[in-house]
Amino acid sequence: MSAEPDDDPAPDAGKLPTGRVARTARVGGLVAGQGLRWAGMRTANRVRTPERAAAAQNDRTAALVHQLVDQLGQMRGAAMKVGQMLSMVEFDGLPEEQQDELQRKLAALRDDVPPVAFADLEKLMRQEFGGPLSRVFTDFDERAFAAASIGQVHRATTVDGDDVVVKIQYPGVAEAVETDLRNATLLLPLVKRLAPGLDGKALAAEMRERIGEELDYELEAQNQRRVERLLRGHPFARVPHVHTDLSTRRVLVSEYVAGERFEEVRRDDEATRDRYGEILFRFFLGLLYRDRIALGDPHPGNYLLCPDGRVCFLDFGLLRDVGQDRVAAERAINAAVRDDDAAALKAALIAGHYLPADRSDVVDPDWALRVMGMAVGWYAKPRERRFSPADSRDHRDRERPDAEARAAAKLQVNQFTLPPESLLIRRMHGIVAVTLAQLRAGANWGAIAAEYLHGAEPTTALGEAEAAFLAERV
- Amino acid residing at 275: R
For every residue of 412-449, DSSP letters joined together read: HHTT----GGGHHHHHHHHHHHHHHHHHT-EE-HHHHH
- Residue 79 pLDDT greater than 70, yes or no: no
Q: Is 297 helix (H, G, I), strand (E, B) or coil?
A: coil
User: Integer distance in angstroms from the first to the last C-alpha of the chain?
Assistant: 33
Task: HSE, CB side, 13 Å, CA atoms: give it for residue 31.
Answer: 16
Query: Are residues 237 and 310 in contact, defined by beta-carbon separation less than 8 angstroms?
Result: yes
How many CA atoms lie less than 13 Å away from 252 in the CB half-sphere?
28
Each residue's pLDDT tens digit, 270-319: 999 999 999 999 999 999 999 999 998 888 888 999 999 999 999 898 89
> What is the mean pLDDT of the segment spanning 362-390?
93
Q: For the residues 135-140, what does the mean pLDDT come to?
A: 97
C-beta atoms surrounding 133 within 10 Å: 15
Task: State the pLDDT confidence band at 10, using cuts at 50, 70 and 90.
Answer: very low
Domains of the chain, by residue range, sit at 2-111+178-199, 260-474
pLDDT band at 211 (very low <50, low <70, confident <90, very high): confident
Q: Residue range 382-396: average pLDDT?
A: 72
Residues 380-406 have a mean pLDDT of: 69
Which of 276, 256, 322 shows the shortest CA–CA distance to 295?
A: 322
Partnered with residue 295 across adjacent β-strands are 319
Query: What SS3 string covers 358-407?
Result: HHHHHCCHHHHHHHHHHHHHHHHCCCCEECCCCHHHHHHHCCCCCHHHHH
Positive or negative torsion for Cα 212, 218, 220, 223: negative
